[in-house]
Chains A and B, each alone.
Chain A
């Protein structure tokens, strides 16, 4: 490296002056360290991109590039990898390198490797720490802590992010993911499809798509190997009955830690907060995770209609039942005594409203209905059922009881030909 010509200088990061083996790794570094949103951990591509994202999505302004050294925090400079670096800074860099090369042959070797690990377990700049072993240490403690706060451990997989961060989407990053919220959307974005006879692990197949293979793929292996042993009990049932779980969950903007403070007996987090009793929608109450973005982010189209698929559903954003219930025929039927009782007595036990539908549906009851002798079927189609006349229909399992007067259930009026 020392004797290289100046033009062959290694890719370096303008924001923090670090060196990298190749530009791809440099870009990864920039995305993880400088262009990562501190709110949602989404990785952008440039400084301006990050600024715009924060403004549009979080309504927040940022005044500088995160983790940048003084003088290099300009958020408006569009730098991507080695592109966009101001010429004077390039020259300055070359001069510095030349000096360094003359002094020492060896530059820090392992810095770029540790870079990737640094991203994940320490938000702050920790450039000088070398050992690749360190990140593992960083992983495990956070995994075994019952109260692993989802935010800190997130390996930069933007929860719910769909836009182009495919390298990070499908990697099962060991146990570093926030428990629950945010993760599922990633799975949904990749329709595994459950091909009928074949067991299919979508997560794993997609790892093949990951470009930065070397560094990223090795990572999951680490926690995967250790996590299970690190938390044998922690993953156990969420809802066992336990009175002694005292872990408070109030105040945490994220969903309550997944396990209690008593790892040997996984129990429910305590629910001491009274605020839960009345949780107004999107009020951001303490026990509720960030107001579900789902409420505001509706699916792009309710009706998925494309050249390849068509959603068989009315083009409305309400449920089928709500749609159907609007029909006049399903409006609350006003009980009209006169009409019903007029017909009922004449029909025996089950006031027979003849429905257009199944005139023939006579099901002779095995005498369960006792009394009324017509032997009318248990359910007259179109059924007006004033069981008033009949003894209570008591299946063998039920205790017998004497016949009762109408139970105050008003038969609906709709049946008598009233079907619109």
Chain B
């Protein structure tokens, strides 16, 4: 089951580069679900495209297909059976991409760019959830042009995550809302943000019984909050940690604090990865509250990351995220997606699970 077992074991000094990466910054990455044999990676980019690669066991990547929007793609996700990919774009639409036929059709429409898209598979319904800068969260049956439900949010959607029956959305102005998806989606609780800066990324984690129990929230201020929905002892159980900062505070130079661009939880170990504007990724054990590893610094920010379904592969994208504004954007600069063997490095420090 280990991906590229012998290929990468000794020579894992470098990570495998995905071939034919997009031509502009990569906004999102997602691996195919376990229902499909093999590993397929999709990545959306600011070049308006979403690409699909097959990742073979020896680490080779094979471009397979591509679809376009008329605006930058901000998010993408898979259906639970792996037959469809859903893409969300600045062009205010979301599309459903049938991989078998390589056809894509529009399935959602907002009044503003769609920042987050997730597939919801409930016992009694399935649908797509889209979060937009138009401050609404909409749910779509892909067969109908009108949303099944539209929920108003206090602010623009900045990021979201879904692990049935829970959904979390983080918005502008540090808004944070938890939704429950049983029977039908509804707002469950609004949470006072545990962070003091703009929300940027969020990922739900599960407990030992594999039920969603909390989430990790990242901000632009090099910090992640671990927040449980119903902890026995919130003051002790919830905490934040600093990450993606340069040099320590004990040096004379000011510390540079970078945004956390994405968070992903390892599907098996429950440990997490964070990637930042500083061009590094780090692995953490939230139960032991320790850092497991920090990578070398790449010369571009890392904008997206994800694990494959069994946690053997960690994919991350190196491209410009605009953290230093327009002046530092170089369209000529190549964008990368790397694959890393994640089977060993994300094992928890202590066996708390």
Tell me, in angstroms, the Cα distance from A396 to B227 when the chains sit together. 40
Among B152, B180, B182, B223, the most chain A Cβ lie within 10 Å of the Cβ of B182
Chain B residue nearest in CB terms to A280? B152
Q: Given A192-B239, A199-B288, A324-B322, are A317 and B187 neighbors across the interface (CB < 8 Å)?
A: no
Contacts of A188 on B, CB cut-off 8 Å? 194-196, 223, 225, 240
Q: Given A277-B151, A312-B324, are A404 and B195 neighbors across the interface (CB < 8 Å)?
A: no
Q: Is the CB of A238 within 8 A of B102?
A: no
Tell me, in angstroms, the Cα distance from A312 to B222 when the chains sit together. 9
Tell me, in angstroms, the Cα distance from A306 to B37 when the chains sit together. 52
Chain-B contact segment, one of A28-36, A54-62, A66-74, A354-362: A354-362
Q: Given A182-B192, A324-B46, A396-B54, are A177 and B20 neighbors across the interface (CB < 8 Å)?
A: no
Contacts of B172 on A, CB cut-off 8 Å? 318-319
Among A319, A327, A408, the most chain B Cβ lie within 10 Å of the Cβ of A319
Contacts of B255 on A, CB cut-off 8 Å? 308-310
Tell me, in angstroms, the Cα distance from A379 to B63 when the chains sit together. 7
Interface pairs (14), CB distance under 8 Å? A181-B189, A185-B193, A279-B152, A281-B154, A294-B173, A304-B221, A309-B245, A322-B156, A330-B71, A332-B90, A378-B66, A392-B100, A395-B52, A397-B38
Partner of A333, one of B38, B71, B175: B71
Tell me, in angstroms, the Cα distance from A383 to B71 when the chains sit together. 14
Contacts of B267 on A, CB cut-off 8 Å? none
Chain B residue nearest in CB terms to A171? B235
Tell me, in angstroms, the Cα distance from A322 to B257 when the chains sit together. 20
Chain-B contact segment, one of A45-53, A119-127, A251-259: A251-259
Q: Confirm or deny: A39 has a beta carbon within 8 angstroms of a beta carbon on chain B.
A: no
Q: Is the CB of B65 within 8 A of A271?
A: no
Q: Is the CB of B68 within 8 A of A410?
A: yes
Q: Confirm or deny: A225 has a beta carbon within 8 angstroms of a beta carbon on chain B.
A: no
The proximity string for B residues 154-169 relative to A, scoring 1 for CB distances below 8 Å and 0 otherwise, is 1110100000011000
Q: Is the CB of B232 within 8 A of A395?
A: no
Tell me, in angstroms, the Cα distance from A410 to B70 when the chains sit together. 8
Q: Which residues of A contact B (CB under 8 A)?
A: 157, 159-160, 170-175, 177-188, 191-194, 196-203, 224, 227-228, 231, 235-241, 255-256, 258-259, 268, 271, 276-282, 287-289, 291-295, 298-299, 302, 304-314, 317-325, 327, 330-335, 350, 355-358, 361, 363, 365-366, 368, 377-379, 381-383, 385, 387, 392-399, 401, 404, 407-412, 414-415, 419-420
Contacts of B233 on A, CB cut-off 8 Å? 172, 174-175, 177, 224, 227
Number of B residues contacting the other chain (C-beta, 8 Å)? 128
Q: Is the CB of B152 within 8 A of A294?
A: no
Chain B residue nearest in CB terms to A392? B102
11 further contact pairs, Cβ within 8 A, besides A184-B192, A409-B67: A181-B192, A198-B290, A203-B236, A258-B229, A289-B191, A292-B191, A363-B63, A379-B20, A397-B36, A410-B70, A412-B70
Main secondary structure of the interface of A (DSSP, over half): loop
Among B238, B249, B331, the most chain A Cβ lie within 10 Å of the Cβ of B238
Contacts of A227 on B, CB cut-off 8 Å? 232-233
Among B20, B90, B180, the most chain A Cβ lie within 10 Å of the Cβ of B20
The proximity string for B residues 122-154 relative to A, scoring 1 for CB distances below 8 Å and 0 otherwise, is 010000000001010000000000000101111
How many A-B residue pairs have C-beta atoms within 8 angstroms? Tell me.
392
Tell me, in angstroms, the Cα distance from A365 to B54 when the chains sit together. 11
Q: Given A255-B189, A288-B190, A393-B102, are A196 and B290 neighbors across the interface (CB < 8 Å)?
A: yes
Q: Given A228-B232, A396-B54, are A383 and B74 neighbors across the interface (CB < 8 Å)?
A: no
Tell me, in angstroms, the Cα distance from A180 to B51 when the chains sit together. 40
Among B103, B195, B259, the most chain A Cβ lie within 10 Å of the Cβ of B103
Chain A residue nearest in CB terms to B189? A255
| Minimum Cβ distance to chain B for residue A419 (Å) | 5
Partner of A185, one of B123, B182, B187, B194: B194
Q: Is the CB of A278 within 8 A of B152?
A: yes
Q: Given A179-B230, A199-B290, A278-B152, are A314 and B322 neighbors across the interface (CB < 8 Å)?
A: yes
Q: Is the CB of A333 within 8 A of B234?
A: no
| Minimum Cβ distance to chain B for residue A143 (Å) | 9
Q: Given A183-B238, A280-B152, are A314 and B103 neighbors across the interface (CB < 8 Å)?
A: no
Tell me, in angstroms, the Cα distance from A387 to B66 when the chains sit together. 8
Tell me, in angstroms, the Cα distance from A201 to B23 when the chains sit together. 44
Q: Confirm or deny: B119 has a beta carbon within 8 angstroms of a beta carbon on chain A.
A: no
Q: Is the CB of B241 within 8 A of A192?
A: yes
Contacts of B196 on A, CB cut-off 8 Å? 188, 299
Partner of B103, one of A183, A363, A407: A407
Q: Confirm or deny: B297 has a beta carbon within 8 angstroms of a beta carbon on chain A.
A: no
Q: Is the CB of A179 within 8 A of B231?
A: yes
Contacts of B238 on A, CB cut-off 8 Å? 183-184, 187
| Minimum Cβ distance to chain B for residue A341 (Å) | 14
Contacts of A325 on B, CB cut-off 8 Å? 71-72, 90, 113
Partner of A313, one of B174, B207, B220: B220
Chain-A contact segment, one of B3-11, B209-217, B338-346: B209-217
Closest 5 CB pairs of A and B: A184-B194, A392-B102, A378-B63, A194-B241, A183-B234
Q: Is the CB of A289 within 8 A of B189?
A: yes
Q: Confirm or deny: B99 has a beta carbon within 8 angstroms of a beta carbon on chain A.
A: yes
Contacts of B194 on A, CB cut-off 8 Å? 184-185, 187-188
Q: Is the CB of A331 within 8 A of B221?
A: no
Q: Is the CB of B174 within 8 A of A295?
A: yes
Contacts of B65 on A, CB cut-off 8 Å? 378, 387, 392-393, 395
Tell me, in angstroms, the Cα distance from A377 to B321 when the chains sit together. 27
Contacts of B47 on A, CB cut-off 8 Å? 382-383, 412, 414-415
Tell me, in angstroms, the Cα distance from A160 to B256 when the chains sit together. 26
